[in-house]
Amino acid sequence: MGTESTGKNSKKKKFQQTRQLIGLALNDGWTQTQIAKACRVHQSMVSSWKNGASKATEAQLYPLLEVYGHKLRRNTFRVYWSISQESSNPIFHKVEGKIILSQSFSDPRRHGHKLIKKIPTYKLVIHDQGKGKFRVVQQKRFIFQHSNEELECSQEDAIWNSTVGDQISAIELLNYIDNYCQEVLREFPSDANTLPYLIRKALLNHGHHVEGVVDYPAVW
């Protein structure tokens, strides 16, 4: 993904992440009027970009790409692993797409009323894989069966038994989170109540539209 406005095709090439880029700017305090002025278009065109009805060219979006392009370029990958229930052999997974949320849920270990330490037990990692599609990696801490002790490693990513889900839409992702809170986080009431907020915040911060969020736009 380039940010150059001098390329031969920049005046015609449609920028596929137009909606996400506009969302980043709006969430950062820009108004549609300011975006229109910077991109030298009418405000009605910015509204069309915001709603996903049309896509801008890279040349039109150049002023925004200079500011927010680096955020859209964070399209890396992460490696996960799990243990096959059939063969007991390790299975390795490579999941592409920028991570918009990574949240662990800890079991507070207590001795009487005294908190000894918090042990991360479950974790969710959500990848944005483009075109409004997401992939959820549901993780559970590896535990040795013979001792019931947690797996330890200097690299935190290695301690999780990971299940990689199918690609889902934003609406399906919100439903997934609601079910996860009810089924997995029943023993973590604070996390179960705050996770729906965290996923909506993550989606908005990365330029996605979220149904059911009341919008209070600024007027400058």
Output the average pLDDT for the chain.
Answer: 86
Q: Are 121 and 58 members of one domain?
A: no
Structural domain of 95: 77-205
pLDDT in tens, 172-199: 999 999 999 999 999 899 999 999 999 9
pLDDT in tens, 4-59: 444 455 467 788 889 989 988 988 889 999 999 999 999 999 999 998 899 999 99
Judge whether 133 lies within some domain.
Answer: yes
pLDDT in tens, 146-178: 887 888 888 888 999 999 999 999 999 999 999
Q: Are 190 and 98 members of one domain?
A: yes
Cβ neighbours, 10 Å, residue 199: 26
Q: Are 25 and 111 members of one domain?
A: no
Number of domains in the chain: 2
Classify residue 18 by burial, with Cβ atoms within 10 Å: 0-12, 13-18, 19+. Answer: buried
Q: What is the pTM of this model?
A: 0.67
Cα 163 from Cα 81, distance rounded (Å): 8
Cα 42 from Cα 158, distance rounded (Å): 50
